[in-house]
């Protein structure tokens, strides 16, 4: 069985190598130019997340066939509308890669509504209202390269190329490219102009006129881009444009590429199907069991002294006022709160993308709430009843260690004796987690921002969001990426 499988793989690889060079594929052009995040939070995060995922999946299904897509995820206050478009010189395979990268980078805006992501090969936008016909907005801007200043001759050619592309695009499905040689040199000015296909020809023309006026302000720099609500224009002294397919046979070549790629994929997939199915079945059963147990744990926590009312914590932070914000991570924001009895607390507001992450949260609350040590931040409780899950910790006024060691003025407050005590305290906290608890706990995200300091500058380890428990007879060797920098 092994020999035929190897032979088939070799044949497929040879076919792919023979066919791919003739496809005239260019660079993926997935470099991020700019990401614009809104400031409006969803009304209900548990509704927003599935709507967002649904919109992304709908966009993905459409963009693979046309390089453009619009989608609407459900309806109501937390509806998510999406638009994606790849620029006209990208092939469909390159378009799919660019969109995949765009989906990854917009996570930096989560969980805010209204996201615009401009990449060098595609554009992705999400929002909670119908924006598909918008062509101008307050966020319209120009991004100028500052590598080198170009000659007057280049500026003349660049202006000419911009005018050519901007004039041609509205009558060419919103897309045009131009190349104008620079007089008495081997250089050229290259321009790409692209409107979103949801615009009318008149809206496209108006958007490109605004964009051209803006981008010419980047001269004499060697490169410029305009990031407008309804269009994208770029000029450069470097040929960033993908080659034009020979003899207009791009569709036929694309089919060949897809057939070859699919064939190679099938060969690889068949070899892994049995193993994957077995693994998937076991994983699903474990997740179902885990989520069912987590539901029981939620009820237990709700009825215990650890539970805080969501409304109580909301009021304590002045409804999560930005003025009370202490810090923010990838999946949580921390606020200072004051309870009615005057106690100061730190409230961690978490956002979950899936049930498994939520299940892990409830288990960790149950595990960590029983742990007390002078060098560990004390967990006071949690709230599981509101639109987000909240953790409540003791408040430490000196904040985290990084506020001192990376600040030259504050750093003077830490003499070597205090620094030594912080080192020892951190070590004692880790030893306690590793050796003195019922289940061995590995923190996995130790860094200066996760070491908090009380009024006497005693170290207290915080943020167990990535903690994991292990049996006493098991060691911990992990190559998985965890935490943030």
Using omega within 30 degrees of 0 as the cis cutoff, is the peptide bond preceding 111 cis?
A: yes
Residues of 163-173 as b/e, b for ≥16 C-beta within 10 angstroms?
ebbbbebbeee
Coil, strand or helix: which one is 181? Answer: strand
> What per-residue string of b and e applies to 96-105 under the rule 16 or more CB within 10 Å gives b?
bbbbebbbee
DSSP letter for each residue of 39-71: -PPPS-HHHHHHHHHHHHHHHHHHHHHHSEEEE
Residue matched to tokens 């595609």: 122
Closest Cα to residue 297, out of 360, 380, 390?
360
Give whole-number Cα distances, 479 to 104, 180, 444, 476, 484, in Å.
22, 51, 11, 10, 15
Catalytic residue among 445, 454, 463, 473: 445
SS3 category, 249: coil
Q: Is 447 annotated as ligand-binding?
A: no
Angstrom distance (rounded) from CA 38 to CA 127: 9
Q: State the SS3 of 66-124.
A: HCEEEEEECCCCCCEEEEEEECCCCCHHHHHHHHHHHHHHHHHHCCCCCEEEEECCEEE
Give the Cα separation of 219 and 152 in Å (integer).
Answer: 9
CB-count exposure of residue 21 (10 Å: 0-12, 13-18, 19+): exposed
Identify the residue whose tokens are 């046309």. 66
445 belongs to the catalytic site: yes
- Looking at 310-411, list the stretches that DSSP marks H as alpha helix, in order from N- to C-terminal side: 310-316, 355-368, 402-405
Beta-bridge partners for 441: 469
* CB contact at 8 A, 240 and 87: no
Binding site members: 348
Positions marked catalytic: 445
Binding site members for ATP: 348
């Amino acid at each position: 069985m092994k020999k035929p499988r190897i032979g088939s793989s070799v044949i497929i690889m040879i076919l792919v190598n023979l066919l791919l060079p003739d496809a005239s594929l260019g660079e993926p052009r997935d470099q991020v130019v700019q990401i614009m995040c809104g400031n409006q939070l969803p009304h209900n995060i548990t509704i927003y997340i599935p709507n967002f995922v649904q919109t992304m999946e709908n966009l993905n299904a459409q963009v693979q066939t046309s390089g453009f897509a619009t989608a609407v995820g459900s309806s109501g206050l937390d509806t998510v509308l999406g638009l994606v478009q790849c620029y006209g010189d990208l092939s469909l395979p390159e378009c799919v890669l660019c969109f995949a990268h765009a989906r990854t980078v917009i996570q930096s805006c989560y969980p805010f509504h209204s996201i615009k992501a401009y990449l060098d090969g595609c554009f992705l936008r999400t929002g909670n209202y119908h924006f598909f016909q918008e062509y101008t907005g307050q966020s319209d801007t120009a991004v100028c390269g500052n590598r080198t200043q170009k000659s007057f001759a280049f500026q003349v050619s660049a202006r000419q190329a911009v005018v050519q592309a901007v004039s041609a695009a509205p009558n060419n499905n919103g897309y045009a490219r131009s190349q104008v040689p620079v007089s008495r040199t081997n250089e050229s000015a290259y321009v790409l102009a692209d409107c979103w296909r949801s615009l009318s020809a008149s809206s496209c023309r108006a958007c490109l006129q605004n964009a051209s006026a803006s981008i010419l302000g980047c001269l004499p720099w060697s490169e410029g881009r305009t990031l407008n609500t309804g269009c994208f224009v770029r000029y450069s002294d470097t040929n960033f444009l993908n080659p034009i397919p020979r003899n207009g046979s791009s569709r036929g070549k694309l089919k060949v590429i897809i057939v070859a790629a699919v064939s190679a994929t099938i060969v690889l997939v068949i070899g892994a199907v049995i193993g994957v199915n077995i693994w998937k079945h076991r994983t699903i059963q474990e997740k179902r069991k885990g989520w069912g147990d987590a539901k029981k744990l939620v009820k237990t926590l709700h009825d215990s002294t650890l539970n805080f009312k969501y409304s109580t914590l909301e009021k304590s932070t002045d409804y999560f006022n930005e003025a009370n914000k202490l810090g923010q991570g990838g999946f949580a924001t921390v606020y200072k709160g004051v309870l009615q009895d005057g106690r100061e607390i730190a409230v961690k507001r978490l956002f979950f993308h899936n049930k498994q992450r939520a299940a892990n949260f409830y288990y960790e609350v149950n595990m960590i709430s029983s742990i007390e040590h002078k060098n560990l931040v004390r967990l006071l409780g949690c709230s599981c009843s509101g639109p987000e899950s909240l953790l409540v910790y003791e408040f430490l006024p000196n904040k985290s260690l990084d506020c001192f060691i990376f600040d030259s003025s504050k750093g003077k407050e830490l003499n070597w004796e205090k620094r030594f005590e912080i080192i020892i305290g951190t070590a004692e906290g880790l030893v306690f987690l590793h050796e003195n608890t019922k289940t061995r706990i590995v923190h996995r995200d130790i860094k200066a921002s996760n070491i908090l300091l009380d009024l006497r500058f005693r170290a207290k380890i915080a943020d167990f969001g990535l903690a994991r428990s292990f049996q006493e007879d098991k060691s911990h060797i992990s190559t998985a990426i965890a935490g943030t920098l």
